[in-house]
Amino acid sequence: MSDSRATFQADFDRIALLPEPAWDHNGHYHNFLLRQLRPGERALDVGCGTGAFSRRLAERFDSVLGLDLSPQMIRLARERSRAYPNIEFRIADVLAEALPGAHFDAIVSIATLHHLPLPEILPRLAHTLKPGGTLAVLDLFETVTLGEILAGALAMPASALLGLLHNRRLRASAEARAAWDEHGQHERYLTVTQVRETCRELLPGAQVRHHLFWRYSLVWTRPG
């Protein structure tokens, strides 16, 4: 494992042990992601964390495979998903995992692809997706345009209000902030323009959209 991958694993082993909030920026878009997918046989959750979205997928797909680099995340995912026998969780680096061709009806990745080289991971995911299957990604991007800066300014009070309503607090605990701040030192984001340019080359027809809370979505259906 490379030094950067080992660092990410250590970061998320630490983050896994934090109390899970009732609401966060990624969970806010779970329903949006589900609307992009048709129920089917097999789904893949890349960077599944503690399995919250895998459990949503398990209600729509016959089997779900959740992959994550963090052993602590996978341990908790298994503990919290005992009522879902159709989910398999696996400690794995998706760049090294053997993924069968044309196998999954749906692939989802939430806040994970910015840790990976996009030109390398997108063809791997496209290869393991069935013709007619859908890839749905939610991830973070680097804010560069005036519109993105203004949207970020609007997102801050909205985030505080929703956090107060759902989590009963305006901000995360000091422990959680420290863990995420340390992880943030290792983060590197692409701009939405860079994501679109990569998709134009590798996933023609992919829809890339801005969203509130510093997120973008990428939705692509494999032809055929």
pLDDT per residue over 84-123, tens digit each? 999 999 999 999 999 999 999 999 999 999 999 999 999 9
Instruction: Report, as an integer, the average pLDDT of 5-32.
Output: 90
Task: State mean pLDDT over 4-14.
Answer: 85
List of domains in the chain: 3-144+177-221 (3.40.50.150)
Nearest CA-CA partner of 94 in 56, 137, 62, 55: 137
* Residue labelled with tokens 């969203």: 211
- Pairing between β-strand 129-140 and β-strand 215-221 as defined by DSSP bridges: antiparallel
CB atoms within 10 A of CB 184: 9
Average pLDDT value for the chain: 94
Going by pLDDT thresholds of 50, 70 and 90, the confidence category of residue 3 is low
Average pLDDT of the segment spanning 31-53 = 98
How much is the pLDDT for 88? 98
Task: Count the Cβ atoms, other than its own, within 10 Å of residue 22.
Answer: 11
pLDDT, residue 185, reads 85
Residues 6+ apart with CB under 8 A from 146: none
Say what the pLDDT of residue 180 is: 81
106 vs 130: CA distance, rounded Å? 8
Full-model pTM: 0.95
Cβ atoms of 108 and 128 closer than 8 Å: no
b or e along 119-129 (b: 16 or more beta carbons within 10 Å of the residue's beta carbon)?
eebbebbbebb
Nearest Cα residue to 45 out of 93, 9, 5, 89: 89
Strand partners for 66: 45, 89
Question: Would residue 213 be called left, alpha or beta, if left means φ above 0 and alpha means ψ between -120 and 50 degrees?
Answer: left
Query: What confidence score (pLDDT) does residue 149 get?
Result: 95
* Mean pLDDT, residues 6-28 taken together: 90
Cβ pair 216, 139 in contact under 8 A: yes
Write out pLDDT tens, residues 181-190. 888 887 889 9
Instruction: Specify the higher pLDDT residue, 27 or 169.
Output: 27
What six digits make up the tokens of 144?
Answer: 């560069």
If one compares 184 and 48, the residue with the highest pLDDT of the two is: 48
Alpha-carbon span 30 to 48, nearest angstrom: 13
